[in-house]
Amino acid sequence: MASFVTHFLNVMFRHMPIIEDTEEERRQNAARPLPKPPKGVTVGDAGLSVPCELIEKQGNGDIYVLNIHGGGFTTGSAKETRALSFYLCDKLGYNVLACDYRLAPEHKLPAAFEDCFEVYRAVIKKYPRLIVLGGSAGGALAIGTVQRAMRAHLPLPLAVAAFSPVAGIGMDLPSHKANIKTDYMLKRDPSGGKLLEKLVPAGAGEDFLKDPNISPIYGEFRGFPPLFLSVSDSEVLFDDSKLLYEKAKTAGVKCKLEIGHKQLHAWASIPQIPEAHQTLQNMKAFFDEIVR
């Protein structure tokens, strides 16, 4: 059963209109107050070519998390995912790198994937005990970035976590339509329409959409690091996580899929709700089994 907080947020999101104006959505997101760092947690600049926050706490171990924000590839920022970064750092003991990447529609795909890969290529050298994590669009970027690292023969991270990830750009899956009325946060079919127009270059065809640099479902999973996935059965992206899980398992990846019921989209990215705490603890337990 969903907690009171989740039920309240579901009701709130159900009555909020979809914001089609990307600039307005960004303005509203940026206007939200930022959480204060917990005691002992510091926020600095990672000093990379792609903007990236470095969030650390003295006494944490040597495992770092690369936290890739969501936002449909059009909104979001490292600052806007600070609540999650602070929780990972303060409660789970992981220091965090949270990156910004170029957003659509000003920068069409694959710009976001290219930026995340540049960050990964830089940080894996400095922080070899790395976990890559992301929610929604950030989940696709997390998986896609590690697949590209495999193709480039770079060192791989210890593990990957993706919360309600996008499996492929432009894919048409049953839950994309069946769950529109129960996904109160997204509320729309991600398979096409105005959202897709914002993301991909004009005239992009099937070859573009099926490029592994764009859609991780078409990438290679053999040799992929251990993968933790979470998704709610009420989300439009429900089938995306199931598809990614099945492909990863078939390829022999050590993989866990946590399915929530009537949860918010990418709820694990929102540590203000109780269910997020449990899922993040489950994620850590999964990682602790495989990371020594």
Dist. CA 265–CA 234, nearest whole Å: 8
> Which residue type, as a one-letter code, is found at position 80?
E
**pLDDT given at position 23:** 95
Give the C-alpha distances (Å, rounded to integers) separating 191 from 21, 48, 110, 239, 247: 19, 34, 17, 12, 20
Query: What total of structural domains would you count in the chain?
Result: 1
Q: What is the pLDDT of residues 12-41, one digit of tens each?
A: 888 788 888 999 999 999 999 999 999 999
- Domain with 267, as residue range(s), is 4-290
CB 274 within 8 A of CB 260: no
**75, 134, 188 from 16: Cα distances, Å:** 17, 25, 13
CB proximity list for 246: less than 8 A, separation 6 or greater: none
Closest CA relative to residue 198, chosen from 188, 185, 184 = 188
Q: Tell me: the pLDDT tens digits for 210-257?
A: 999 999 999 999 999 999 999 999 999 999 999 999 999 999 999 999
**pLDDT for residue 1:** 61
Q: What is the mean pLDDT of the chain?
A: 95
- Tens digits of per-residue pLDDT, 172-211? 999 999 999 999 999 989 887 788 899 999 988 999 999 9
Least confident of 90-94, 108-112, 114-118, 188-192: 188-192
pLDDT digits (tens, 9 = 90+) for 267-283: 999 999 999 999 999 99
For the cut 70, the answer to whether the pLDDT of residue 288 exceeds it is: yes
pLDDT digits 0-9 by tens, 29-77: 999 999 999 999 999 999 999 999 999 999 999 999 999 999 999 999 9
pLDDT-derived band at 159, boundaries 50, 70, 90: very high
| Section 167-176 average pLDDT | 96
What's this model's pTM, rounded to 2 decimal places?
0.96
User: Which CATH number does the domain housing residue 36 bear?
Assistant: 3.40.50.1820
Q: Is 212 exposed, middle or buried (0-12, 13-18, 19+ CB in 10 A)?
A: middle
Instruction: Report pLDDT for 108.
Output: 97
- Look up residue 19 and give its amino acid: I
pLDDT of residue 174: 97
